[in-house]
Amino acid sequence: MADTRPRVLSGIRPTGPLHVGHLVGALSNWAAMQDKYECFFMIADWHALTTHFEDPSRIREFALENTACLLASGVDPARSTFFRQSDLVEHAELHLLLSMMVPVPWLERVPTYKETKEQLKDRDLSSYGFLGYPVLQAADILAYKAVLVPVGEDQVAHLEVTREIVRRFNHLYGEVFPEPKPLLTPTPRLPGPDRRKMSKSYGNTIELGHDENQIRDSVKRMFTDPAKIHLGDKGHPEDCVVYAFHGAFNPAGVTEVDRTCRDGSRGCVDCKKSLLGPMWERLKPVHEARARYLQDPGRIETILAEGARKAREVAGATMKEVRRAMKLV
């Protein structure tokens, strides 16, 4: 029987080990979607090359690590199709064909294009591939005719390019693709312990590979409300990293934290201690399952190969349709 659930595709770039921000943002969200939607999840290793082409040596290893994290957090290859982008040459072909009809100014005006170029000044991002990042992303989505794309706020502009590409393609060659919509990640972004955005480039990530002691150290280092110095001082949870983590890892206790922080009856040292328990309780099973998967890279490769086979059934059929629509057959 044909699957009638809405089709979803999302991806993650293997540019480093995954961290708790990925878990409470993308990964747990993906794991929860698997029954209601027909899901395709992808390790976007070609996309990693757009910023890391000068030193690609670790992308392969990060792809395995990221795959282990996905599996450990409940992304289930029996219920979802889970694959590595570079195993699907169909994405490259579709990227090339779409590139023929995409006006360069559409790509130049994507806000993340200019921003990333400014942020990563030490990297050479003047390449054709980096400009075409959203076209490759469109190919990822359209190869499966996905209608929903779970992403963070920062990806909405990329999705808009995909939608424009769909309209242009369908106008030129006939109705082939549906217009996908973003499905915004419901959880707010977790900051790093130092209050900045949690990111490898700031060296402030709390990784899924970290053990209990490393997590404890990260919690100890977390910024608290600077106006709350003594135990009895009234605090402002909205200015506190520890509070953001209570929200993500201790939902049952967070109202109480808010109240006792504001009325001054809670001290920051205790507040950090009461975070560690629920946080490690949530992270421990993921940490352990990740380690088990990583002990057997052969098994990870088998899972990815099987995922690529399932993905190819769909992407291959789409490519036949695309070639026909573009009069290439």
Are 198 and 190 in contact by the 8 Å Cβ rule? The answer is: yes
Pairing of strands 7-12, 38-43: parallel
Task: For the segment 183-242, give every residue that binds ligand TRP (CB under 6 A).
Answer: none
Tell me, by CB under 6 A, how many residues bind ligand SF4.
13
Alpha helices in the chain (DSSP H): 20-22, 28-33, 45-52, 59-72, 89-99, 104-108, 111-119, 128-131, 133-142, 156-173, 212-221, 241-249, 254-262, 268-294, 297-325
Choose among ligand TRP, ligand SF4, none what residue 95 binds, the Cβ cut-off being 5 to 8 Å by kind: none
Strand spans (E) along the chain: 7-12, 38-43, 81-84, 148-151, 181-184
| 195 Cβ contact partners less than 8 Å away, ≥ 6 residues apart | 223, 241
Does the footprint of ligand TRP cover residue 19 (CB under 6 A)? no
Choose among ligand TRP, ligand SF4, none what residue 312 binds, the Cβ cut-off being 5 to 8 Å by kind: none
Nearer to ligand TRP, 38 or 140 (CB): 140
Candidate residues 268, 276, 311, 314; the one interacting with ligand SF4 per rule CB under 6 A: 268
Nearer to ligand SF4, 52 or 266 (CB): 266
Which of helix, strand or coil describes residue 41?
A: strand
Rounded-to-10 torsion of CA 69, 201, 46, 316: 50
Does the footprint of ligand SF4 cover residue 261 (CB under 6 A)? yes
Candidate residues 7, 8, 11, 65; the one interacting with ligand TRP per rule CB under 6 A: 11
Q: Which stretch in 33-41, 59-67, 203-211, 220-228 sits in contact with ligand SF4 by CB under 6 A?
A: 220-228
Site string for ligand SF4, 82-121 (x = CB under 6 A): ----------------------------------------
Tell me how far apart the alpha carbons of residues 133 and 129 are, in angstroms, rounded to a whole number: 6
Task: For the segment 87-146, give every residue that binds ligand TRP (CB under 6 A).
Answer: 137, 140-141
Tell me how far apart the alpha carbons of residues 117 and 137 are, in angstroms, rounded to a whole number: 18
- Phi then psi dihedrals of residue 85, to 5 deg: -50, -45
Candidate residues 13, 19, 95, 210; the one interacting with ligand TRP per rule CB under 6 A: 13
Nearer to ligand SF4, 271 or 279 (CB): 271
Which of helix, strand or coil describes residue 148?
A: strand
* Distance of closest approach, residue 159 Cβ to ligand TRP, in angstroms: 8
Does the footprint of ligand TRP cover residue 9 (CB under 6 A)? yes
Task: For the segment 40-69, give every residue that binds ligand TRP (CB under 6 A).
Answer: 44, 47
Candidate residues 224, 283, 300, 322; the one interacting with ligand SF4 per rule CB under 6 A: 224
Which of helix, strand or coil describes residue 127?
A: coil
Candidate residues 19, 266, 290, 312; the one interacting with ligand SF4 per rule CB under 6 A: 266
Nearer to ligand SF4, 188 or 316 (CB): 188
Tell me how far apart the alpha carbons of residues 118 and 103 are, in angstroms, rounded to a whole number: 23
Are 194 and 220 in contact by the 8 Å Cβ rule? The answer is: no
Q: What is each CA distance from 214 to 33, 61, 62, 327, in whole angstroms? A: 30, 22, 20, 58
* Distance of closest approach, residue 190 Cβ to ligand SF4, in angstroms: 14
Tell me how far apart the alpha carbons of residues 59 and 256 are, in angstroms, rounded to a whole number: 43
* Positions that interact with ligand TRP (CB under 6 A): 9-11, 13, 44, 47, 137, 140-141, 149, 151, 155
* Positions that interact with ligand SF4 (CB under 6 A): 224-225, 228, 235, 237, 240, 242-243, 257, 261, 266, 268, 271
